[in-house]
């Protein structure tokens, strides 16, 4: 299968995982595995938003910097950020210095806190949109960029005040957080 590659360890992987060691590790240990909990999911949707228009490898390489800058993505801590924090982050080379994405992360933390204070959870919301799909895709061309479920999730999050959560970004989050399994058939990774 052309969309699979065999790594130096002899294991077949999705072809995108072969271009850098960080990709290989992410593919083998995280991507497509279930992520639960508001803080963990807030981190993932924040990183997906920062990735928009960039290589995921850039985000992976700056991940620890993001975790430090956004206090482990603890929602209440990030929700308390103000303009001084935005300016500090704009000068922090350990993160992607995009004012709109930084502001969106802070606003999304505030939206998450409001959701929690109303008795809801990001975990419950996101996982309520998990689609039922029994088979893995055969090729990369079988992998969609958005689905009805990611579109509905995007709409629900926006209604709660979240930003930078479009259908394509939410489908990438669904892949990353294990709501869908887009490891190709024949890939060694199993959930």
* Catalytic residue set: 26, 48, 56
Instruction: Give the list of residues 6+ apart from residue 30 with CB closer than 8 angstroms, or none.
Output: 176
Give the list of residues 6+ apart from residue 35 with CB closer than 8 angstroms, or none.
41, 44, 176, 177, 178
Q: Are strands 4-6 and 12-14 parallel, antiparallel or unpaired?
A: antiparallel
In 3D space, the residue among 52, 35, 19 whose CA is nearest the CA of residue 167 turns out to be 52
Range list of β-strands (E), 95-160: none
């Amino acid at each position: 299968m052309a969309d699979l590659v065999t790594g130096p360890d002899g294991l077949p992987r999705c072809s995108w995982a072969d271009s850098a060691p960080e990709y290989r590790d992410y593919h083998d240990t995280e991507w497509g595995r279930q992520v639960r909990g508001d803080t963990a999911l807030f981190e993932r949707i924040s990183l997906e938003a920062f990735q928009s228009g960039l290589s995921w490898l850039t985000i992976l390489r700056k991940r620890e910097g993001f975790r430090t800058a956004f206090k482990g993505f603890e929602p209440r801590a990030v929700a308390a950020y103000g303009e001084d924090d935005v300016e500090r982050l704009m000068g922090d080379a350990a993160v992607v210095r995009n004012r709109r994405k930084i502001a969106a992360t802070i606003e999304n933390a505030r939206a998450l806190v409001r959701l929690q204070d109303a008795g809801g959870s990001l975990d419950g919301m996101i996982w309520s949109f998990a689609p039922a799909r029994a088979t893995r895709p055969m090729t990369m061309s079988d992998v969609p960029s958005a689905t009805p479920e990611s579109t509905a999730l995007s709409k629900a999050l926006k209604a709660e005040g979240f930003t930078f959560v479009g259908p394509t970004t939410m489908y990438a989050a669904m892949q990353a957080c294990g709501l869908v399994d887009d490891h190709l058939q024949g890939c060694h990774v199993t959930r």
